[in-house]
Amino acid sequence: MSNKNFLEDFPVLHADANGERLIYLDSAATTQKPTQVIESIENYYKTNNANPHRGAYKLSIDATKAYDDARKKVRDFIDAEFSKEIIFTKNATEGFNLLSSSYGMSNINEGDEIVISIAEHHSNLIPWQLVARAKKAILKYMYVNEDGEITKDEIKNKITPKTKLVSITHVSNALGTINPVKNIIDYAHSMGAKVIVDGAQSIPHMKVSVRDLDADFLVFSAHKLLGSMGLGVVYGKKELLQNMPPYIVGGDMIEYVYEQETTYAELPAKFEGGTQNVEGAVALGAAIDYLNEIGMDKISEIEHELIVYALEKLNALPYVKVYGPKNIDHRSGVISFDIEGVHPHDVASVFDSHNVAIRSGNHCAQPLMRFMDINATCRASFYLYNTKEDVDKLIEAIEKTYTMFSKWR
């Protein structure tokens, strides 16, 4: 599959009747979907749809199998040991809410410290503010240096024997920095703390093994990995999940319900109250099959080649400022930048008229923007369906935008 033009598989990216195609550079927000994933959803509804775990008839058994098979694919994809360590949620955000409400509220006590980084997405930040407030705990931040990286000293200064929990993004959605999560996990464990990894921007782009990392928990969203919206994943070590109280309660997550008390189902059902997004799980399974066929190392390689090419061109433009690591090996396929004298929102609007889709704003990372003393950036993010031609179109759009705004300078 190595020479395949992946664009073919993504209908929304095909050229129109005039030969124009969308240059989609916003995969950090959500990825486009290949035909294989789109068809898996249609096929599920045509052949397997029923409420899983609820019926004794064949169709419900088929739906249960489809749901369980997807869970096994996720287990293998992130190299977890047991299927029951994979919990399906609505998205990564709900995953962090599950962990903060269930693990956080029952394991964090007065005076304990929770450590996160200043570059966290709001979904891995606000939940910990709530736990810290409710439990009279302290929320501490690891700050980034001028390259958007967390240094070894910062890790050692902030994670101490008082730290009970570290929750850290593997890859920053705002700067593209790949954080040294393995080192952070090892150090946090040596201090007796548990670690949650936000894999929203890493799982789709690189090979990740929760066992190699020794992550206690890991969270990600299916829609950033070629899957559909409305499905997230929480991985947790079995012993930790078993000892946590449920988060969403109601049907399906119970064993026995009495008038005043309830006993809960075994993992993973304990954390999956109510009718689940089986269609989303099936689509995620198809997305994983698609990515596995290409190989995660190959995907990282494609993205690396693209950012090497893009950074060389961006750095050659004196009016463009690029944020994030100078060391390209510490970067994933997210590039945050500014065009001198043009507000990022204007940049994104003008780019749209050139059929180039990028993101502008604070990228759900307001504390990071405040820390860096900026309001917003432009963000181009890449995935396997992007090409060097897309980078050329991006550069062309930057040049045109700069020239256009030079009149007002």
Ligand X SMILES: Cc1ncc(COP(=O)(O)O)c(C=O)c1O
| Stretch of 56-64, 197-205, 263-271, 366-374 lying at the interface with ligand X (CB under 6 A) | 197-205
Cα–Cα distance measured from residue 237 to residue 81, given in angstroms and rounded to the nearest whole number: 9
What is d(CA 9, CA 26) in angstroms, rounded to the nearest whole number?
18
> What residue number has its CB nearest to ligand X?
173
Instruction: Please state, in angstroms and rounded to a whole number, the distance separating the CA atoms of residues 326 and 177.
Output: 10
Given the complex with ligand X, which of 41 and 254 has the nearer CB atom?
A: 41
* Contact with ligand X (CB under 6 A) among 31, 201, 332, 377: 201
Between 101 and 201, CB nearer to ligand X: 201
Task: Write the DSSP assignment of 318-369 as a string of letters.
Answer: TTEEE-S-SSGGGB-SEEEEEETTB-HHHHHHHHHHTTEE-EEE-TT-HHHH
Min. distance of Cβ 345 from ligand X in angstroms?
A: 18
Q: How far is the CB of 330 from ligand X (least distance, A)?
A: 16
Q: Which of residues 328-357 bind ligand X (CB under 6 A)?
A: none
- Those residues whose C-beta lies under 8 Å from the C-beta of residue 80, and which sit 6 or more positions away, are 74, 86, 210, 211, 235
169 binds ligand X (CB under 6 A): yes
Angle at 244 between CA 241 and CA 247, to 5 degrees: 100
Sites for ligand X among residues 7-36 (CB under 6 A): 28
Question: What is the SS3 assignment for 48?
Answer: coil
Segment interacting with ligand X (CB under 6 A) among 79-87, 103-111, 179-187, 194-202: 194-202
Residue span 124-143 as binding mask against ligand X, x where in contact by CB under 6 A, dash where not: x-------------------
Residue 335: CB minimum distance to ligand X, A: 14
Kindly tell me which of 113 and 198 has the beta carbon lying closer to ligand X: 198
Beta bridge partners of 236: 217
Q: Which is nearer to ligand X, 29 or 374 (CB)?
A: 29
Question: Taking CB under 6 A as the rule, which mask of x and - marks residues 86-125 in contact with ligand X?
Answer: -----xxx---------------------------x-xx-
364 is catalytic: yes
Contact 213, 170 (CB under 8 A): no
Based on CB atoms, which residue is closest to ligand X, 143 or 309?
A: 143
CA distance 348 to 331: 22
**Which of 111, 135, 139 lies closest to 125 in space, CA to CA?**
139
β-pair partners for 196: 167, 217
State the nearest-atom distance from the C-beta of 190 to ligand X, in Å. Answer: 26
Considering only 68-76, 85-93, 259-267, 289-297, which stretch makes contact with ligand X by CB under 6 A?
A: 85-93
Residue from 75, 125, 118, 74 nearest 96 by CA: 125
Q: Select 55 or 361, whichever has its Cβ closest to ligand X.
A: 361
Kindly list the distances between the CA atom of residue 255 and the CA atoms of 103, 143, 273, in Å, as whole numbers in the listed order. Answer: 21, 45, 12
Output the smallest distance, CB 90 to ligand X, in A.
Answer: 8
Binders of ligand X among residues 364 to 393 (CB under 6 A) are 364
Interface positions, 308-327, toward ligand X (CB under 6 A)? none
Q: What are the start-end ranges of the E strands in 193-271?
A: 194-198, 217-221, 232-236, 254-257, 262-264
CA angle 210, 302, 282 (to 5 degrees): 50
Span 209-228, contacts to ligand X by CB under 6 A: 221
For residues 40 and 286, the answer to whether their CB atoms sit within 8 Å is: yes
Which is the catalytic residue, given 294, 364, 371, 374? 364
Total residues at interface with ligand X (CB under 6 A): 14
Among 101, 102, 173, 228, binds ligand X (CB under 6 A): 173
- Residues serving a catalytic function are 364
Q: Which residues bind ligand X (CB under 6 A)?
A: 28, 91-93, 121, 123-124, 169, 173, 198, 200-201, 221, 364
